[in-house]
A and B are shown apart, each in its own frame.
Chain A
Amino acid sequence: MATLYLQDIRKSFGPTQVLHGVSLDVADGEMIVIVGASGCGKSTLLRIVAGLETQTSGQVVIGGQDVSGLEPADRDVAMVFQNYALYPHMSVFGNMAYGLKIRGVPKAEIERRVKEAAELLGIGALLERRPRQLSGGQRQRVAMGRAIVREPKLFLFDEPLSNLDAKLRVQMRAEIRRLQRRLGVTSLFVTHDQVEAMTLGDRLVVMHGGHAAQIATPMEIWAKPADTYVAGFIGSPAMNFLRGTLSHGGVVATLPGGVSVPLPGRAGADGNEVLIGIRPEHLRPGVGGLSPVIELVEPLGSESVLHGRLPDGSPLTARLPGAVHPEGALALTLPPESLHVFDAGSGKRIEAVA
């Protein structure tokens, strides 16, 4: 158990720079989820922490010790791989014991730790089996067990749930979270799945193009996304963006169709171009706002997702309660308190000034 501190990690593969300086401060026992689309550098970051890749510049500090130049084995970290990487010729016991065996832990101690971890994960009856005789979920548990028995300073998860089917994924997700809380081991968890990220992490790191776009708690990221990328990435269906121009001293945005949208506060000087973001679930039926034409209704039971187009042709998604909604013209209002305002040029969030 330890803290983790990353200072301005940069990484280039030849001329291509994939990490543009990521800094992160992880508290003891914290679960950090690194989330982003593929190619954003999230796996590279994790592998740098593990020591499987060497950063071009920057520092990795685990438990107060600079491990930047150390081999993976000397960093005292354990990693769960996407395909689990269980040695196929070893039994479950052999797989879990291997790291301890190499470190010269006494036999009795190995036995005790493996048994304990196996009980914790509910795979106590499988210790003699080979990995190929296990189901996906069981393999996943063995991979977790291999990490747990090491009692490392840091758990590193590299998309460990993406090879499981949907139902099992939800179940394992909860299990990983419970286990991590119980063991209190500082963890980094890489995923491309935003639901996984929201439910697992104490804090999220949203990666975009080699930058950490935002580092915050899941709710904070949802409520106050730092830029349009984060806003569009977190939340499902994705946030709607409307282009507008500020007027009335910066408290109202005028949309291209001439609709005026009151903002929660002053967002800048008159004439500034802004992007107004509103989550589909925050749109409410009512006159005085947008008037899209609904083209597709997806009933989900207790609520429905409505896909439509605004008069100027831009798409709009709304999530409304109730299962029955007609297609065709609809009037929606924009509650000012649920609006997010972003700079149209940089995409950065503009905090309302009251």
Chain B
Amino acid sequence: MDLAEKTRRRRRREAVVTHLCLILGVLIFAFPIYLTIIGSTHDVNTIGRGDVPMVPGGEAVANYTQAWEAGGGRYMGTPAGRMLANSLVMALLIAFGKIAISLTSAYAVVFFRFPGRMVCFWLIFITLMLPVEVRIIPTFQVMVDLQLINTMTGLVVPLIASATATLLFRQFFLTIPDEYVEAAKIDGAGPLRFFRDVVLPLSVTNVAALFVILFIYGWNQYLWPLLIVNDRSLETIVVGLTKMIGGGDSQNEWNVIMATAVYALLPPVAVVLLMQRWFVKGLTETEK
């Protein structure tokens, strides 16, 4: 009786402590987002005064409309709608491009025996060790030479090559039993047929998981779009957002900036929510 009571108490104490920790963590993560959302519902003067309100204001519709249609900030920049479209196109192209390139190169490296196979593999592998920033100036020079400055192509192509995704697919392909290859050979399936009918369907969950990661990677690109694009009509939302914030003593339209930030938040959140099931599946299990 006494012992049972003790156990119960200990359980309760454990539950309280763990929940407190979790709630604290959630608060730390969620508070900035909460502040952004609240900030986007007040008029410019309320935030401009310096005291940030904790309850929603009544200017939400006006702020979001202005951000969507006209943009804000010092330059009265690009409308958020436009920037969202640009970001979306860029992120999708990067994600699909990376997946397509890495699927095919991993397929070549794993399933074919050709001279220089390991050299190719190591070349891909080595690029992992060079961060984008290191080669950003030479890449910029190349894009200038190719006259791809201020184009979507110039924005996307240099970001498409992906050693990480190639390695990931390589590791996955290595787990596909040789017998499938042999059964397909006897069934009469050529390499492309085998890729389409067997490898691709087996990789679906991995592709989905990678899509989530790569979409967010593409969406959050900052340095490269900042360099390669100075045409307002190609502005991506992440870059546009920072450009809205002026330096020094200029007056920032924080309400519009917050509204734009919320817009910028929505697509990645949507992708994660929609793909969550696949994402977890892809990281934890394989259909074998």
Which of B182, B188, B189, B201 contacts A81 (CB under 8 A)? Answer: B182
Known pairs A88-B202, A88-B287, A89-B201; A98 contacts B180 (CB<8 A): no
Please encode chain A, from 14 to 38, with 1 for each CB lying within 8 Å of some chain B CB and 0 for all others: 0000000000000000000000000
Taking a contact as CB atoms under 8 Å apart, the answer to whether B185 and A52 are in contact is yes
Let me know if B272 is at the binding interface, CB within 8 A.
no
Chain B residues whose CB sits within 8 angstroms of the CB of A85 once the complex forms:
177, 179-180, 182-183
Chain B residues whose CB sits within 8 angstroms of the CB of A102 once the complex forms:
187-189, 193
Let me know if A50 is at the binding interface, CB within 8 A.
yes
Scoring A77, A82, A85, A146 by chain B CB atoms within 10 A of each residue's CB, the highest score goes to A85
Interface residues of B in 146-203 (CB under 8 A from A): 177, 179-180, 182-183, 185-189, 193, 197-198, 201-202
Chain B residues whose CB sits within 8 angstroms of the CB of A83 once the complex forms:
177, 179
Let me know if B288 is at the binding interface, CB within 8 A.
yes
Let me know if A352 is at the binding interface, CB within 8 A.
no
Taking a contact as CB atoms under 8 Å apart, the answer to whether B179 and A99 are in contact is no
User: Closest CB of chain A to B150's CB: distance in Å?
Assistant: 44
Tell me the interface secondary structure of chain A in the complex.
loop
Bound complex: CA A329 to CA B185 (Å): 61
Known pairs A102-B188, A102-B189; A52 contacts B287 (CB<8 A): no
User: Closest CB of chain B to A281's CB: distance in Å?
Assistant: 40
Taking a contact as CB atoms under 8 Å apart, the answer to whether B187 and A98 are in contact is yes
Taking a contact as CB atoms under 8 Å apart, the answer to whether B185 and A81 are in contact is no
Please encode chain A, from 60 to 71, with 1 for each CB lying within 8 Å of some chain B CB and 0 for all others: 000000000001
Taking a contact as CB atoms under 8 Å apart, the answer to whether A73 and B186 are in contact is yes
User: Closest CB of chain A to B242's CB: distance in Å?
Assistant: 44
- The tally of residues in B whose CB lies under 8 Å from a CB in A reads 17
Residue of B nearest to A75 (CB): B186
Bound complex: CA A303 to CA B58 (Å): 96
Chain A residues whose CB sits within 8 angstroms of the CB of B201 once the complex forms:
89-90
Chain A residues whose CB sits within 8 angstroms of the CB of B182 once the complex forms:
50, 52, 72, 79, 81, 85
User: Closest CB of chain A to B185's CB: distance in Å?
Assistant: 5
- The tally of residues in A whose CB lies under 8 Å from a CB in B reads 24
Let me know if A339 is at the binding interface, CB within 8 A.
no
Residue of A nearest to B200 (CB): A89
Which of A77, A87, A89, A132 contacts B186 (CB under 8 A)? Answer: A77
Chain B residues whose CB sits within 8 angstroms of the CB of A50 once the complex forms:
182, 186
Chain B residues whose CB sits within 8 angstroms of the CB of A90 once the complex forms:
201
User: Closest CB of chain A to B191's CB: distance in Å?
Assistant: 12
Residue of A nearest to B204 (CB): A89
Chain B residues whose CB sits within 8 angstroms of the CB of A167 once the complex forms:
none
Chain A residues whose CB sits within 8 angstroms of the CB of B185 once the complex forms:
51-52, 71-73
Scoring B179, B183, B186, B198 by chain A CB atoms within 10 A of each residue's CB, the highest score goes to B186
Bound complex: CA A208 to CA B179 (Å): 25
Chain A residues whose CB sits within 8 angstroms of the CB of B186 once the complex forms:
50-52, 72-73, 77-79, 99
Bound complex: CA A122 to CA B221 (Å): 57
Bound complex: CA A83 to CA B176 (Å): 13
User: Closest CB of chain B to A187's CB: distance in Å?
Assistant: 15
Chain A residues whose CB sits within 8 angstroms of the CB of B187 once the complex forms:
73, 98-99, 102
Chain A residues whose CB sits within 8 angstroms of the CB of B189 once the complex forms:
73, 98, 102
Residue of B nearest to A130 (CB): B287
User: Closest CB of chain A to B267's CB: distance in Å?
Assistant: 30
Taking a contact as CB atoms under 8 Å apart, the answer to whether B180 and A87 are in contact is yes
Scoring B187, B189, B287 by chain A CB atoms within 10 A of each residue's CB, the highest score goes to B187
Residue of B nearest to A77 (CB): B186
Bound complex: CA A72 to CA B182 (Å): 9
Taking a contact as CB atoms under 8 Å apart, the answer to whether A89 and B202 are in contact is yes
Chain A residues whose CB sits within 8 angstroms of the CB of B193 once the complex forms:
102
Let me know if A103 is at the binding interface, CB within 8 A.
yes
Taking a contact as CB atoms under 8 Å apart, the answer to whether B188 and A73 are in contact is yes
Chain B residues whose CB sits within 8 angstroms of the CB of A99 once the complex forms:
186-188
Bound complex: CA A79 to CA B178 (Å): 14
| Interface set of A (CB-CB < 8 Å, partner B) | 50-52, 71-73, 77-79, 81-85, 87-90, 98-99, 102-103, 132, 146
A-B contact pairs, 27 of them (CB 8 A): A50-B186, A51-B186, A52-B182, A72-B185, A72-B188, A73-B187, A79-B182, A79-B183, A79-B186, A81-B182, A83-B179, A85-B177, A85-B180, A85-B183, A87-B180, A87-B183, A87-B197, A87-B198, A88-B202, A89-B202, A89-B287, A90-B201, A98-B187, A102-B188, A102-B193, A103-B188, A132-B287
Q: A51-B185, A73-B189 are in contact. List 19 more A-B contacts (CB 8 A).
A: A50-B186, A51-B186, A72-B182, A72-B185, A72-B188, A77-B186, A78-B186, A81-B179, A85-B179, A85-B183, A87-B180, A88-B287, A88-B288, A89-B198, A89-B287, A90-B201, A98-B189, A99-B186, A132-B287
Q: Which 8 A-B pairs have the closest CB atoms?
A: A73-B188, A85-B179, A99-B187, A85-B183, A89-B201, A72-B185, A102-B188, A72-B186
